[in-house]
Structure formats: C-alpha cells, structure tokens
Amino acid sequence: MANGDGVFLLKELRKIHESVPVVIMMSGFSETERDELLKDGASHFVSKPLNFEKLDSIMADLAKSF
C-alpha cells in the first residue's frame, strides 16, 4: 500500500464492518504473516504478480456468499 499500512487498514475496517470480505494482495509473505492476517480478518490472499483468473474466481466465490 503506497501511503499506508494494509494491516492497519484491515484492522480499522473490521472495527466498522465485520463481514465485508477483504482480499489481500502481497508478494513474499510468510505463513506467519498469512496466519496473522487471517486472524485479523482477511478473507483470501493473492500473490504478486497478480493472477487475474485466481482473483476472478475468488471474487465470484465471495459474491455468492456475501
């Protein structure tokens, strides 16, 4: 995130909207980081470089359940 911390944003969003799906896009994250973000409320992960087919599939699944 260019001008902020995505983890901070995720935590603040969860305070306001607990059920809004959040897809995290990161490069080079560890399992520890991934587990922490899931604990903080992330719904899914996609890695960089972005795979649009995977993102499309995630978004379609989220649209069905939201």
CATH of the domain spanning 6-65: 3.40.50.2300
pLDDT tens digits, 6-64: 788 888 999 999 888 999 888 887 888 888 888 889 999 888 889 999 999 999 999 98
14 contacts 40 by C-beta, under 8 angstroms? yes
Closest CA to 46 of 22, 28, 24: 24
4 Cβ contact list (under 8 Å, min separation 6): none
HSE-up of residue 24 (Cα within 13 Å, Cβ side): 24
Q: What is the pLDDT at residue 48?
A: 86
Q: What is the pLDDT at residue 4?
A: 57
Q: What is the pLDDT at residue 23?
A: 92
Q: What is the pLDDT at residue 3?
A: 53
Q: What is the pTM of this model?
A: 0.75
Quote the strand ranges of the chain, DSSP E.
23-26, 44-47
Per-domain residue ranges of the chain = 6-65
